[in-house]
Amino acid sequence: MFSIIEKQKLSAEVFRMVISAPYIAKARKPGQFIIIQQGGDFAERIPLTIADADPEQGTITIIFQAVGEATHKLATLNAKDAVTNVLGPLGQPTHIEKFGKVVCVGGGIGVAPMHPIAKGMKQAGNEVKIIMGARNKGLIIMEDEMKAIADELIVCTDDGSYGRKALVTEPLKELCETWKPDLVVAIGPPVMMKFCTLTTRPFNIPTVVSLNTIMVDGTGMCGGCRVSINGKTKFVCVDGPEFDGFAVDWDNMMLRLGTFKAQEQEAHHRCHIGLHIQEGDA
Amino acid sequence: MHHDTVTLDSQAKTLFEQYKDQALTNKQRLAVPVQEMPAQDPDVRRDNMEEVALGYTEAQVLIESIRCLQCANAPCVAGCPVRIDIPRFIAKAALGDFAGSIGVIKEASMLPSVCGRVCPQETQCQQTCTVGRVHKDIDKAVSIGRIERFVADWEASQGKRSVPEVGQSTGKKVGVVGSGPASMTAAADLRRAGHEVVMFEALHKCGGVLVYGIPEFRLPKRIVQEEIDTLVSMGVKIEQNFLVGRTATIDELMTRDGFDALFIGSGAGLPNFLNIPGENLVGVFSANEYLTRSNLMRAYDKAKAGTPLFDSKRVLVFGGGNVAMDAARTAVRLGAEEVSIVYRRTATEMPARREEVAHAHEEGVLFKYLHAPKEIIGNEKGKVEGVRIVLCQLGEPDASGRRSPVEIPGSDIVLACDTVIVAIGNSSNPLIEKTTKGLQVDRKGHIVVDEDTCATSIPGVYAGGDIVLGSATVILAMGQGRKAAKAMNEYLSDREHRGGSAS
């Protein structure tokens, strides 16, 4: 029922898929996500972000990195195959309005969920500057799509193989000093989001982050996704995924993300053998 | 002491030889010993997920049934939330007419194989049973639930499960939100009336709490699946991966998608925490998460499952209900070395089903009564390493009628553990409330319904089960599903006679 219309390999471990999901395509808004379960009874449910949607065609676009057993299994599928279970759209949509000047920071695979948000911000009449970061050139995704939206696009790589050799926080700090944005939205690895909030805090610029925590059902039932926001427990799946970045207890969140680290590492090695991906390729 | 099925069965057979073809007096009936439920050996079942209670043998049912006095006032029926005609089904079972017996139960209950296993009979039908009262021992009441389970399983084993008849098509389309016991019952009754019925389930498997919450060793999943299969063969359409409130709202279903009426049975889906320090440390889980991983995602099968489970050695489970017992007993089966229930009151106040508590004891679960958790302590890596507990004594009864725990100042102790499972109940999931304009809910977020019809504040929208009752029982949820379906059938036929249509 959730048939794959298109599949594309964007980099060694990053894939783009267009999936038929008419209800989700119709209902989804920027900032929301889905849960996928690929395979039979024993397969894991994993949250993935929605990069784009076409309500007329009834399709959604997902961009994912094969990092665990479940995403590897998904990556083995091709056009005309079908994904077993897709639930969504989940979570609260991004609060989009005319703020004035908005900086969107996307790190790694976080560029994918940033795309609809940046687009929405632009459509709402904001001036939008986008900072994209990746470890190296091969991991840069959606550059053209982002260029089409941004008033200015800054691309950085950790190793300098493309764009500016810098972490995203460097240009972010400069923009805070010179451009003085009204809002910053940051999506990427937790450590990147944490340092984005440390960068914007001295300038007192509201900073929204989108969290991707451990989840099972995605509907508020399991509480595996809970995070501490200003000392209060919130569920990422129903209260989030977006929160005030200054209120997030990052260290606790990152520790919680490592809850099943031992089991996940073992599974990752097994998957790489199956997918013929060399360790360190990504 | 553990007795195997063969021993219990041969004892029952011997007794049966003694009693058969006799007209028994009440005195004789009262002298018949209560039949023990055959169960897997505790030492064996600690290492498997298979059902613990194995069910009565035929001889045991015949004996247990003759213990019933067939009271004219039938106090057991008054104790049953859906008023099953208990004396009548037991009388048929006593004659070996199991088909007749299950027929009587099915007049009132949609899920006897489930209820026979999970109903808290000792606080319902068996609490009021005359036999138990005469013996002044509730454990000596007629084992109504075990007889119910036997005849339900007997029917399934005959391979001729009756599929309820479906009425002539009414042309009306009805949606059922959720697929737990309330929704299953409502769906069956609505379909029987001839409406097109679509059941919406958010997860990838139907059955609600029966599937994600209750473990295999207490309720085998195949039993739930058989009930779902029955609904499908009646023509109920199932839409999985559909979260009402997100995938489509109540309003969209009613106005855009052409549903004439909806039943909301979405359950109590938000786990409560104690709000004590340390609850977000690594190694602290809600019982929902722990059980969902094991049950729904089948993580107990470590070789096959993609979903990981935490590797636990010493587990503390907070709470004293069925969910706490399920979590503790799951932890035992997953290889934890020491599992303890931490409960603020004593065994007397504990809400769990008696049989589950007894089974937990047999499996080596420890019970720490009058222990109130105050703080979860973590190590430098943010992992749980202990819980600070304050000891309590029992004080005056509280609003629930149970004696409340009073903390003893200065009695703090620390219990070492690497895993904490919080099983202190659920709150209602606010998703439907937040996305449905005009839907009235109470202070706790439960949907407010008319007591007689289960109608909500929105015309054509009904609700039942835990989203209305809070954390209740399967049988109560089922009762509400039935009540709502009856009212919905009336609502839909009234509208048809008036020639009205959805606003």
B238-287 pLDDT tens trace: 999 999 999 999 999 999 999 999 999 999 888 999 999 999 999 999 99
Instruction: Record the tokens describing residue A218, joined without a space.
Output: 């995605």
In whole angstroms, give the CA distance from residue B221 to residue B233.
Answer: 18
Q: Does B308 touch chain A (CB under 8 A)?
A: yes
Here the tokens at position B496 are: 């048809």
The span from the CA of B466 to the CA of B175, in Å, is 18
User: Residues B340, B343, B344, CA angle at the centre, nearest 5°?
Assistant: 150
Decide if B238 touches A, using CB distance below 8 A. no
Instruction: Provide, as residue numbers in chain A, all residues whose Cβ is less than 8 Å from the Cβ of B204.
Output: 37, 45, 84-85, 87
Backbone φ and ψ of B53, nearest 5°: -80, 125
Residue contacts between A and B (CB atoms, under 8 Å)? 132
The answer to whether residues B423 and B321 touch, using CB atoms and an 8 Å cutoff, is: yes
Residues of chain A with pLDDT under 50: 275-282
Closest in B273, B280, B430 to A252, CB measured: B280
Cβ atoms within 10 A of the Cβ of A170, count? Answer: 16
Cβ distance A224 to B289 less than 8 Å, yes or no, reads: yes
Q: What is the pLDDT of residue A280?
A: 40
Contact B212 A84 (CB under 8 A): no
pLDDT of B313 strictly over 60: yes
Judged by a CB distance cut-off of 8 A, whether residue A263 touches chain B is yes
Considering the domain B271-425 in this protein, what is its CATH number?
3.50.50.60
Q: What's the mean pLDDT when you consider all of chain B?
A: 94
pLDDT of the residue at A98: 97
DSSP B140: G
Q: Which residues of B touch A2 (CB under 8 A)?
A: 241
CB contact (8 A) between residue A42 and residue B381: no
What is the distance between the alpha carbons of residues B90 and B104, in angstroms, rounded to a whole number? 9
Q: Residue A216 and residue B293: Cβ atoms within 8 Å? A: yes
Q: Which of B201, B216, B225, B247 is the best mutation test for A, with the most CBs of A within 10 A?
A: B247
Cβ separation B269–A220 shorter than 8 A: yes
Cβ contact B146:B154 at 8 Å: no
Measure the N-to-C terminal CA separation of chain A; round to a whole number of Å.
31
A26-52 per-position pLDDT tens digit: 999 999 999 999 988 899 999 999 999
Question: What distance in Å separates residue B497's CA from the closest CA in chain A?
Answer: 34
* Residue labelled with tokens 């007209």: B23
Predicted pLDDT of residue A268: 59
Which residue is associated with the tokens 């009613």?
A: B254
A-facing residues of B in 418-457 (CB < 8 A) are 429-431
Give this prediction's pTM.
Answer: 0.93
- Which ipTM was obtained for this model? 0.91
Break chain B into its structural domains and give their ranges.
5-157, 173-269+428-497, 271-425
Q: Which residue of A has its CA nearest to B279?
A: A233
Percent of chain B at pLDDT exceeding 90: 84
Tell me, yes or no, if A228 comes closer than 8 A to chain B by beta carbon: yes
Partnered with residue A45 across adjacent β-strands are A37
Q: Rounded to an integer, what is the distance from CA B464 to the centroid of its chain?
A: 15
* Spatial distance between the Cα atoms of B213 and B423, rounded to a whole number of angstroms: 11
Sign of the alpha-carbon dihedral angle for B76, B78, B79, B80: positive
What b-and-e string marks burial along B275-292, b requiring 16 or more CB atoms within 10 Å of the CB? eeebbbbbbbbbbbbbbb
Chain B closest-CA separation from residue A221 CA (Å):
5
Residues contacting B445, CB < 8 A, separation 6+: B427, B428, B430, B433
Q: Where are the alpha helices (DSSP H) in A127-179?
A: 143-149, 169-178
- How does strand B338-342 pair with strand B314-318? parallel
- Residues in chain A closer than 8 A to B275 (CB atoms): 233
Which one is predicted more confidently, A37 or B402? A37
Average pLDDT, stretch B157-166? 82
Which of B13-22, B75-84, B168-177, B395-404 is the most confident on average?
B168-177
Report the residue of chain B nearest A37, measured CA to CA: B204
| Cβ contacts of B225 within 8 Å, gap of 6 or more | B207
> In degrees to the nearest 10, what's the CA dihedral of A62, A67, A70, A74?
40
Strands A2-11 and A82-83: antiparallel
B277/A contact by beta carbon, under 8 A? no
Query: Touching check for A7 and chain B: CB below 8 Å?
Result: no
Q: Residues of A with CB below 8 A from B269's CB?
A: 219-221
- The helix/strand/coil state of B169 is coil
Distance from CA of B363 to the nearest CA of A (A): 26
Using a CB–CB cutoff of 8 Å, tell me whether B276 touches chain A: no
Domain B5-157 has CATH 1.10.1060.10: yes
pLDDT confidence of residue A67: 86
Answer yes or no: same fold for B5-157 and B271-425.
no
Residues of B in contact with A45 (CB under 8 A): 204, 297, 307
The answer to whether A36 touches A86, Cβ cutoff 8 Å, is yes
Which chain B residue has the Cα nearest residue A264? B308
Angstrom distance (rounded) from CA A187 to CA A177: 21
CA dist., res. A229 & res. B282, Å (int): 17
Q: Quick check: B55 and B80 in contact, CB under 8 A? A: no
Q: pLDDT tens digits, residue range B459-483?
A: 999 999 999 998 888 999 999 999 9
Nearest to B211, CA basis, from B181, B243, B176 = B181
- Report residue B314: phi and psi, to 5°: -120, 120
- Distance from the B64 Cα atom to the nearest Cα atom in chain A, whole angstroms: 39
Q: Look-up: residue for tokens 């039932």?
A: A221
A274 touches chain B (CB under 8 A): no
Residues of B in contact with A235 (CB under 8 A): 270
Residue B256 DSSP class: I
Question: Choosing among B243, B300, B383, which should be mutated to test the A contact, i.e. which has the most A CBs within 10 A?
Answer: B243
pLDDT for position A270: 60
Question: For residue A71, which residues of chain B lie inside 8 Å, CB to CB?
Answer: none
pLDDT of residue B502: 45
Q: Pick B173-269+428-497's CATH classification: 1.25.40.90, 2.40.160.10, 3.90.1150.10, 3.50.50.60.
A: 3.50.50.60
Q: HSE, CB side, 13 Å, CA atoms: give it for residue B347.
A: 9
Q: Are A72 and A275 in contact (CB under 8 A)?
A: yes
Structure tokens at A87: 């639930």
Task: Check if A216 contacts B (Cβ < 8 Å).
Answer: yes
